[in-house]
């Protein structure tokens, strides 16, 4: 019996891949451990999307090698830089690209000298690493958008949807096993079904997921603006399970910058979208990501972006400084912005967002919500999650103070009693 530890970096889509990889290891021959000191083998699933992610991956590899264990590095960083990594880290036992995932059992066998039965990488065969009450449902892989700043299509390949019936069956199985919170993810969620011949699309998928008994929250992440139809908006409006939570990665609002980014939106179309959302779903929670300092971004366009976030009033907002990624169109653009200017523009946006977030949080005081217990903090305090904060640790925390005892995964009803910049305090009702 070998002990295997796995470190999963990057986005939640990577988490799903990690879960599928663990499922490839026969349970009678491998024991999954969290304490790397007792591991015989450590697998590192890397992210290679932006500079900060690459730095984090390198740091983790260096730290992991200090354990002096058998080490295999996989994932997006390897897909992009396998040759360079092999030269830089000769003591790593194996580097495995995304395309080589089906060969992992053989590679592990070679590293550990263990007779392992080969299995195939299967997104529907996973060892769930999230708490028992929640799980991610990855509905597609790859991306066809080819945004000028993004390397994902070169790493993950072209867009392809997973089978509709398999997704529904798997979601039902998850619910049967106690999952109450289902998070629908992909690189481009709204494009689901465009490559399928059975007429499947995101609306039909969500409509079927909404019928599954046992699910309490269904959250959809990574929705591109142009794919959010009135049909989807009305479904969300009328559902008791699909959260009124709109995660729309905009990146910018300037029509000129959006065109340079190879995005399909304009400032006008984005403003129209949010008008539609707020009209159809008045209590909508809005989340987005923005890029500060995209090549040739002027000071006026930076100010335009600032005024834009003040107008829309996002509940949750993240800002990244532009990362120059080799192989992307944006890396070849003239007028690259100085790093200090990027950081200054990011700080201005985030300082404005603090005020917006605090204002919106104060409006929640006195309101009641359904919530799920996510962590026992002790001293009669629990961390909870509602429809308006995502499980990816980005949206801030809600602390429930109660005299009752609860287990993780229980559904409770809460009343917000105090608001802070990002966090909230609640009582049980």
What residue ranges define each of the domains in the chain, with the CATH number in brackets? Answer: 2-112 (3.40.50.12160), 134-362 (3.80.30.20), 368-428 (2.40.50.140)
Residue 160 has pLDDT above 90, yes or no: yes
| Helix pair angle (51-65, 76-88), 10° resolution | 50
**In which band, very low, low, confident or very high, does the pLDDT at 188 lie, cut at 50, 70 and 90?**
very high
CA 349 to chain centre: 22
The answer on pLDDT for 36 being more than 80 is yes
* pLDDT at 394 (0 to 100): 84
Higher pLDDT, 185 or 152: 185
pLDDT in the model for residue 44? 97
- Spatial neighbors of 41 by CB under 8 A, at least 6 apart, are 2, 3, 4, 5, 69, 70, 71, 72, 108, 111, 112
d(Cα 239, Cα 311) in Å, to the nearest integer? 28
Give ∠ CA 92-95-99 in degrees, rounded to 5.
170
pLDDT above 90 for 117? no
Residue 121 predicted with pLDDT over 80? no
Mean pLDDT of the chain: 94
What are the pLDDT digits (tens) for 380-421?
Answer: 999 999 999 999 878 999 999 999 999 999 999 999 999 999
Count of CB atoms within 10 A of residue 305's CB?
26
Contacts of 215 (CB under 8 A, 6+ apart): 171, 175, 179, 180, 181, 182, 209, 241
Residue 4's alpha-carbon distances to 36, 127, 169, 377, in angstroms, are 8, 13, 29, 29
Could you identify the residue written with the tokens 């801030």?
A: 396
* pLDDT recorded at residue 48: 86
Average pLDDT over residues 347-362: 98
Q: Give the SS3 label for residue 141.
A: strand
338, 158 Cβ separation under 8 angstroms: no
When pLDDT is cut at 50, 70 and 90, the band that residue 154 belongs to is confident
Angle at 325 between CA 162 and CA 302, to 5 degrees: 100
Cα–Cα dist 84/153, whole Å: 20
User: What is residue 107's DSSP assignment?
Assistant: H
Pairing of strands 2-8, 30-33: parallel
pLDDT at 426 over 70: yes
**What confidence score (pLDDT) does residue 119 get?**
62
pLDDT tens for 240-297 read 999 999 999 999 999 999 999 999 999 999 999 999 999 999 999 999 999 999 999 9
User: What pLDDT is recorded for position 374?
Assistant: 96
Give the confidence band of 358 by pLDDT, cuts at 50, 70, 90.
very high
User: 23: closest CA among 95, 104, 99, 79?
Assistant: 104
Q: Which two tokens stand for residue 405?
A: 């005892």
| Model confidence pLDDT, tens digit, residues 46-83 | 998 888 889 999 999 999 999 999 999 999 999 999 99
pLDDT at 15: 93
Least confident among 15-24, 110-119, 202-211: 110-119
Mean pLDDT of 315-334: 94
pTM of the model as a whole: 0.85
CA gap 62, 57 in Å, rounded: 9
Whether the per-residue pLDDT at 116 is higher than 60: the answer is no
What is the residue whose two structure tokens read 């903090």?
A: 377
Burial label for 38, CB within 10 Å (0-12, 13-18, 19+), is exposed
């Amino acid at each position: 019996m070998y002990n295997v530890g796995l470190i999963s970096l990057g986005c939640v889509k990577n988490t799903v891949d990690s879960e599928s990889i663990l499922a490839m290891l026969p349970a009678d021959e491998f024991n999954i451990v969290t304490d790397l000191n007792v591991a015989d083998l450590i697998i590192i699933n890397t992210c290679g999307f932006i500079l900060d992610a690459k730095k984090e991956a390198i740091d983790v590899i260096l730290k992991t090698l200090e354990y002096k264990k058998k080490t295999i590095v996989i994932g997006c960083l390897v897909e992009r830089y396998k040759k360079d990594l092999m030269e830089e880290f000769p003591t790593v036992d194996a580097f495995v690209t995304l395309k080589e995932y089906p060969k992992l059992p053989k590679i592990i066998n070679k590293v550990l000298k263990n007779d392992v039965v080969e299995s195939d990488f299967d997104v529907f065969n996973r060892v769930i690493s999230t708490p028992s009450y929640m799980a991610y449902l990855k509905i597609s892989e790859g991306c066809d958008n080819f945004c000028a700043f993004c390397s994902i299509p070169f790493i993950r390949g072209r867009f392809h949807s997973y089978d509709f019936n398999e997704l529904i069956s798997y979601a039902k199985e998850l619910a049967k096993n106690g999952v109450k919170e289902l998070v629908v993810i992909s690189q481009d969620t709204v494009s689901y079904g465009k490559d399928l011949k059975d007429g499947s699309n995101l609306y039909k998928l969500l409509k079927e997921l909404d019928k599954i008994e046992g699910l309490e929250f269904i959250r959809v992440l990574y929705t591109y603006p142009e794919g959010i139809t009135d049909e989807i908006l009305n479904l969300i409006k009328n559902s008791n399970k699909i959260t009124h939570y709109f995660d729309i990665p905009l990146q910018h609002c300037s029509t000129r910058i959006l065109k340079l980014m190879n995005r399909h939106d304009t400032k006008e179309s984005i403003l129209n979208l949010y008008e539609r959302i707020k009209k159809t779903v008045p209590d909508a929670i809005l989340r987005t990501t923005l890029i500060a300092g995209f090549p040739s971004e002027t000071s006026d366009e930076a100010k335009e972006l600032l005024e834009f976030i003040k107008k829309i009033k996002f509940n949750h907002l993240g800002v990244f400084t532009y990362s120059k990624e080799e192989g992307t169109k944006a890396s070849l653009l003239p007028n690259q912005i100085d790093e200090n200017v990027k950081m200054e523009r990011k700080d201005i946006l985030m300082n404005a967002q603090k005020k917006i977030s605090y204002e919106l949080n104060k409006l929640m005081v006195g309101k009641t919500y359904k919530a799920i217990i996510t962590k026992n903090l002790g001293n009669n305090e629990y961390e909870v999650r509602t429809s308006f904060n995502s499980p990816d640790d980005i949206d801030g925390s809600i602390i429930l103070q109660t005299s009752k005892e609860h287990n993780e995964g229980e559904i409770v009803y809460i009343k917000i009693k105090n608001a802070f910049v990002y966090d909230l305090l609640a009582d049980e009702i």
